[in-house]
Amino acid sequence: MRILGLSNMRDAAAALVDNGQIVAAAEEERFVRIKHVTALPLQAVRFCLQTAGISLEDVDAIAVPWKYWRLGRRAALAVGSMLRSPRLFTVKGTRSVERLTGEWKELAFLRTYLSRRVDGTRCPPVVFLDHHLCHAASAMLVSPFEQAAVMVVDGASEAHTTMLARADRHQIRVLTRVALPHSLGQFYAGITSYLGFKPDHDEYIVMGLAACGAPSFAQALREQVLRTLPDGEFRLNTRLLDFHLARRRIFSAEFVRLFGPPRRPDEDITPRHHDIAASAQSVLEDTLLHLARHLRRMTNDQRLCVAGGVAYNCVANSRLLKDAGFGELFVPPAAGDSGAALGAALWLAKRRGGLASPTVMRTASWGPQFSEAVCRAALEEAGLDVQWLDDALLCEQVAGELAAGRLVFWFQGRMEWGPRALGNRSLLADPRREDMRALINLKVKFRQPFRPFAPSVLAERASEYFDLTGSSPFMVRTAPVQSSVKGVIPAVVHVDGTARVQTVDRDSNPRYRLLLEAFARRTGVPVLLNTSFNVNEPIVCTPREAVACFLRTDVEWLAMENLLARRRSMPSGG
């Protein structure tokens, strides 16, 4: 049984499940090169079908993680907000309603659109599924758990923002939901906008900034903006923060009166901004804990699955694991709306009896892969000198270059599913050098200096470096760095003494694992700084994009499969 899941809203994506096994999954942004793109994911669909070697007509059903006709309430709220505040009746606001109706039209005529635009073959029937159930399935059905409590928290589904459930591998029993407009995702998006960043886009920047400040505004935010109520409920004061207010200025004049002027995007970041970020993060964490503890009381489960866009907040995930009373936590690599496309496919497969054997997601390598010949052609087309090395030699040489302080783009195997580079489309560096962050910012990233870089570590040695319970293959939570090694890997320790860790086990990514081992042999440190292979764009997908990105930077080396290319302008001997 083949089920193709797809979502055409924000973070558009497609995923193919065949007889219960994940065959392929990718976000459309990687193909069309627009971050978080909202679009019918035609290229992602084509990629999934090509990977399986099938046509659209060979698929048994299309699963969509939205009951789109129920989205009317969201549009009504948006129009209502604009009518109440005519000054917010902006062109942008009107467009967001128009865009929503455009997305519905695509879904209403999905079979026709897909059939015409994918490969001309007949499109199978489409099944529209509850958005939050798909998020829940995206975590529970690939988790290592037989049974778990499930928490879904995002900006908004068809009509809700939060769902608490209890699930096993056969069913998801919804316990409670929080209805619009009370949304934790939109609370954080509102703060993101207030701090001069792009809402629904730059929340991770606010999370990084939070570690630099003190939560001096947290009490005021709790009293005025986001209140918790008994039984796992919470209320967002939409007179102060309301994402339906046309997405442009989603905080009101009253919010500004209470918390001071908003930061303009080009303005310097001050200690007050640090404190606002720290306060919002603290209030978000407290509210999530409030929900999780209620869920724990209701279910008595030891295991927790979390999904929805808010599950990208890796700092909050760690707090949940530490303080909510659960012993284990699973968050999928694509926790947001792209993940819901895979969740939809899995959930429909489950409902139709197509998930006979349990699937546990141990890797995020579900995207496109390119042959060595295609990689070589891209490198030679750019006039780069290319060396072929077997795995052992490649890893030895790259480890040596890294240990000597040079940077390496690392392009291997299938592109990662979800927003994190996990050793397939990565930029790697030596975490031991204090100045490495500055060096990367200088040579590649040009990003805010407070933003942390993350470490990859050999799984079996993770506890020497990080205070981490269990494994963390998808970089979805942070862990305190052991105080004895903070000075050993300064480039990956955030200002609050934590790191967003990726543990690399023996099976999930063999070549990356070999590289970590080679680096450990050479330096004694089984840790690499791992950031994404991109510069102000979606993570690279193809070899050509990789080479183009490499040439735009001052990074010294590019490794693609077994091929190693060096920057042309590098003096000999490095």
Where is 300: in which H helix or E strand? Answer: none
Structure tokens at 442: 């200088």
Please, which residue, 183 or 503, has the CB nearer to Fe ion? 183
Please, which residue, 337 or 396, has the CB nearer to Fe ion? 337
Q: How far is the CB of 297 from Fe ion (least distance, A)?
A: 25
Q: How far is the CB of 135 from Fe ion (least distance, A)?
A: 6
**Stretches 3-11, 114-122, 334-342, 457-465: which one binds Fe ion (CB under 5 A)?**
334-342
Q: How many residues bind to Fe ion according to rule CB under 5 A? A: 2
At residue 200, what are phi and psi to the nearest 5 degrees?
A: 65, 20
- In the set 158, 337, 430, 545, which binds Fe ion (CB under 5 A)? 337
Number of residues assigned to the chain: 574
Assign 171 to helix, strand or coil: coil
**Stretches 232-240, 333-341, 394-402, 403-411: which one binds Fe ion (CB under 5 A)?**
333-341
Assign 400 to helix, strand or coil: helix
Structure tokens at 517: 């081992």
Residue 530 amino acid letter? N
**Stretches 202-210, 332-340, 372-380, 415-423: which one binds Fe ion (CB under 5 A)?**
332-340
Which residue of the chain is nearest Fe ion when measured via CB?
154
Q: How far is the CB of 524 from Fe ion (least distance, A)?
A: 43
Q: How far is the CB of 12 from Fe ion (least distance, A)?
A: 12
Please, which residue, 136 or 527, has the CB nearer to Fe ion? 136
Q: How far is the CB of 21 from Fe ion (least distance, A)?
A: 24
Please, which residue, 48 or 71, has the CB nearer to Fe ion? 71
Please, which residue, 8 or 412, has the CB nearer to Fe ion? 8
At residue 430, what are phi and psi to the nearest 5 degrees?
A: -80, 120
What part of residues 134-173 is at the interface with Fe ion (CB under 5 A)? 154
Q: How far apart are CA 100 and CA 69, in angstroms?
A: 11
Please list the residues that pair with 505 across neighbouring strands: none
Q: How far apart are CA 288 and CA 317, in angstroms?
A: 9
Structure tokens at 501: 């860790």
Please, which residue, 341 or 479, has the CB nearer to Fe ion? 341
Q: How far apart are CA 513 and CA 55, in angstroms?
A: 35
- Please report whether residue 286 would count as binding Fe ion according to CB under 5 A: no
Q: How far is the CB of 66 from Fe ion (least distance, A)?
A: 9
Q: Which residues have CB under 8 Å from 362's CB, separation 6+?
A: 473, 505, 507, 508
Structure tokens at 63: 């699963």
Please, which residue, 208 or 309, has the CB nearer to Fe ion? 309
Q: How far is the CB of 549 from Fe ion (least distance, A)?
A: 29
The CA R_g of the chain, rounded to the nearest whole Å, is 23
Instruction: Give the binding site for Fe ion (CB under 5 A).
Output: 154, 337
